[in-house]
Amino acid sequence: MTTKRIFVTATNTDVGKTFISEKLVNLFSDMGLRVSYLKPIETGVSQFPLDGKKVFDVAKERNPELERFSLTEIVPYQFRLPASPFVAKGETEIKLSKIVESLEKLEKVSDIVIIEGAGGTAVPISENYFTTDLIADLGAKAVLVAPTNLGSISDTLLSIWKLESEKIDFIWTLNLWKDKNSFDEVSLPFYKSHFKEVDIFQKNPQKLAEKILNLF
């Protein structure tokens, strides 16, 4: 079976990519699949990449073959400055080949690789290379994580349009977290009016996992 590449992106930073990535590791593992995790770029790193390590630790528990991998293979590019990769990298060149090298190693012990992006769909990695370019170059299917706070509708629509314009296969889900007590009144009515189906991750996580597999 060809290993499935699933890229978790979002409308912005601090929306829930790491949370969803961790949940997907467990959901797919519960389905009997061997799951690996890769975070190509993490910024705001002090002693070690917090997000990358968190999900990698979970993935190792579910897939013991990952014990042979180092954290630097899982998060090949680590930068101190909490900024977009383009800014945080300074003079460092982010090479696609280095990311692919880690990905292909992980695929040897995996049915699925969860790839977590940095920031949102249009985050610059280099001057003219963005998250959507990385998704396309990796040949991955995408999961767009959208927030539920006031003002998020515009961000969500822009990210959906961006993925559609780049002809990337994706599904999207709402991470019911910020403003969750007012979401049903303030934002949900538009989503229900505009979309045939609205997926709220917390209401049916298993459904998201099944929809992702149907992308392949």
pLDDT of residue 176: 87
Domains of the chain: 4-213 (3.40.50.300)
The CA distance from 159 to 180, in Å, is 21
Residue whose structure tokens are 């790491």: 18
Point out the residues that are catalytic: 39
Which pTM was predicted? 0.95
Residue whose structure tokens are 């961000």: 155
Cα–Cα distances in angstroms (integers) from residue 141 to residues 28, 29, 107, 194, 214, in the given order = 15, 18, 15, 23, 10
Spatial CA neighbour of 178 closest among 143, 146, 203:
146
Query: From the CA atom positions of the chain, what is the Rg in Å?
Result: 17
CB neighbourhood size of 127 (10 A): 7
Contact 175, 201 (CB under 8 A): yes
The CA distance from 108 to 27, in Å, is 20
pLDDT of residue 1: 63
Residue whose structure tokens are 């979401």: 183
Encode the chain (216 residues) as per-residue pLDDT tens digits: 689 999 999 999 889 999 999 999 999 999 999 999 999 999 999 999 989 999 999 999 999 999 999 999 999 999 999 999 999 999 999 999 999 999 999 999 999 999 999 999 999 999 999 999 999 999 999 999 999 998 899 999 999 999 999 999 999 999 987 787 888 999 999 999 999 989 999 999 999 999 999 999
DSSP for the chain? -PPEEEEEEESSSSSSHHHHHHHHHHHHHHTT--EEEE-SEE-S-SSS-HHHHHHHHHHHHH-GGGGGS-HHHHS-EE-SSSS-HHHHTTT----HHHHHHHHHHHHTT-SEEEEE-SSSTT-EEETTEEHHHHHHHHT-EEEEEE--STTHHHHHHHHHHHHHHTT--EEEEE---TTTTTHHHHTHHHHHHH-S---BGGG-HHHHHHHHHTT-
